[in-house]
Amino acid sequence: MNHAINRRQLLGGMLGGATLLSACGAPPLTVPEQAATGPARRGGTMRIARPAATAAETLDPASSLSAYEYLGAIYNRVVKLDRNGQTVPDLATDWSTNADATVWDFKLRSGVHFHDGRRLTAQDVRYTFAHILDPDTASPQAGPLELIRSIDAVDATSVRFRLRSPNAEFPSLLTAYRWTVPQEGAAEEIGRTGLGTGPLVLGRFTPAGPGQVRANEDYFDGRATLDRIEFYSIQATSARVNALLSRQVDLLAQTTLDNPTARVVANSAGTTIARVQNAQWYTIPMLFTSKEFADPQMRQAMKLAYDPNAVLSTALQGTGAPGWDNPVPPQLKDWTDHEREYDPDKAKAILKKLGREDFSTRIYTSAYEPNLTPIATAYADQVKQAGITLKITNAAADSYYSQIWMSKPLMVSYWFTGRPVDQLLNQIFRSGSSYNESAWSNKQFDQLLDAARADTNDASRRLKYQDAQRLIQADGADQTPVFGDRLVGLSETVVNYD
């Protein structure tokens, strides 16, 4: 049976933890460019393997850590991104702003119902963001929304946001996949009930365990092709891959496969690979507050010392694009095509000037994601040309993002690239942001972001975002060596995965 799945609608974004699959050969094959396409048969069950979450996992969007598939299935957002990264309607059909982009009005669809039959109103949207911003919620999502001064339900289908400062890109901010809309007043039970308006209805949910969603027969955008999705929690990537190869599951979620494993899956009967271009953003943050990388000249030397093309070729076998320390992926319209300088001899001269000719430190990596260690190895090999010695240090996957990330001076990390440019730059690079993994702080950069948000002219605002990218390349503490294609393992019966 062919199972059709729309990744954005049903899974709400693929991102996440994987470990290396050992003892797998790599047949001399290329990885497919895309999975099968064609008409999908109505009905059937999709079986998805995902890494086991913690026992604290919740379906409350304000607090959820890794329930991406559930959030995208059972809820909707006010607005969402299309395949080209443009902000398009979801629960809201239209939006407008005042002259200085400090007041935004959103018009909601009429006739949208929650899974219990209750009609969606503007009060539910107001409640959603008030719940996230409530200090008692302690939501990790609150930071980027603190620019909201007030939220008013003007009438049953109209919501007004008043901002503390201008933001011409405010609608794109609301596309974040966790900012989905539950019912008003649902905070106490939403974590387990998952009562939303989405294309699928929660059947069962077990933190760190299995779950199920089924088709919403009354979904405003039409019934899903599938009857249901079964979720299975399998922690090890090797076990998830084996479940796919033995036809026990149909798709691997929150897993990008390393190139050798992807080739095995592509060459096995009944399974294939879907490639999502530049979907993995790999970073090497240099902790701005550390003695190793507080000096901007030291950060410049680390960048000059390596060639992103070499890292791409060695670590990812060319399946992606070089980053050149610009965090904006090349598929976004606001990307600036600026390659920073590569000159290991100049890096060596800077190190000599700083008295660090024999600079040595650890670079942390983990089996949490299969490409982290290959990237660390390729990067360490590159910077040797400038006399830099990096000791590759593997940390436990289950504590990598609680004990290493944002703590050690140098590590390898990764993100999902599905963010508009304003959201990306403000969430991960603005001074003081809770997601600023390098702790970099630059007043000029923050002022650029403020100026861009206040600029209601699309062309000149884009130039400001491009200036911000070049400033990250020149002074930033978060290196972007490569963007990697996400290689998703799935059954040949799954069609139209994009």
291-313 pLDDT per residue, tens? 999 999 999 999 999 999 999 99
pLDDT of residue 96: 98
Give per-residue pLDDT as tens, 126-140. Answer: 999 999 999 999 998
pLDDT of residue 7: 27
Q: Please report the pLDDT score of residue 29 as a whole number.
A: 52
pLDDT at 27: 41
**Helix orientation angle between 443-454 and 458-475, rounded to the nearest 10 degrees:** 170
What are the distances in angstroms from CA 494 to CA 220, 254, 352, 404, 483? 24, 17, 56, 37, 26
As beta bridge partners, residue 413 has: 283
Per-residue HEC secondary structure of 436-494 comes to CCCCCCCHHHHHHHHHHHHCCCHHHHHHHHHHHHHHHHHHCCEEEEEEEEEEEEEECCE
Share of the chain above pLDDT 90, in %: 80
Reported as a single tens digit per residue, the pLDDT across 198-228 is 999 999 999 889 999 999 999 999 999 999 9
Taking 60 as the threshold, does the pLDDT of residue 356 lie above it? yes
Q: Residue 23 pLDDT > 60, yes or no?
A: no
Of 8-12, 157-161, 336-340, where does mean pLDDT reach its minimum?
8-12
> CB-side exposure of 379: number of CA atoms within 13 Å?
32
Q: What is the pLDDT of residue 498?
A: 74
Average pLDDT of the chain to the nearest whole number: 91
Give me the mean pLDDT over the 11-16 stretch.
30
Instruction: Give the pLDDT confidence score for residue 14 in this predicted structure.
Output: 30
pLDDT attached to residue 140: 85
pLDDT score at 161: 98
| Euclidean distance between CA atoms 367 and 395, whole angstroms | 8
pLDDT, tens digit (0-9, with 9 covering 90-100), for 25-39:
444 456 777 777 888
- Those residues with Cβ within 8 angstroms of residue 172's Cβ, 6 or more apart along the chain or in another chain: 81, 87, 420, 422, 423
Q: Pick from 82, 61, 12: which is nearest to 180 by CA?
A: 61
Average pLDDT over every residue of 260-265: 93
- Name the more confident of 14 and 32: 32
Query: What's the mean pLDDT in 456-472?
Result: 97
Q: What are phi and psi of 58, to 5 degrees?
A: -145, 160
Signed CA dihedral, 438, 444, 448, 451: sign only: positive
Q: How far is CA 268 from the centre of its chain?
A: 29
Lowest-confidence pick of 47-56, 320-329, 481-490: 47-56
Supply the pLDDT for residue 362.
Answer: 98
Q: What percent of the chain is predicted at pLDDT more than 70?
A: 94
Interacting residues of 457 by C-beta distance below 8 A, sequence separation 6+: none
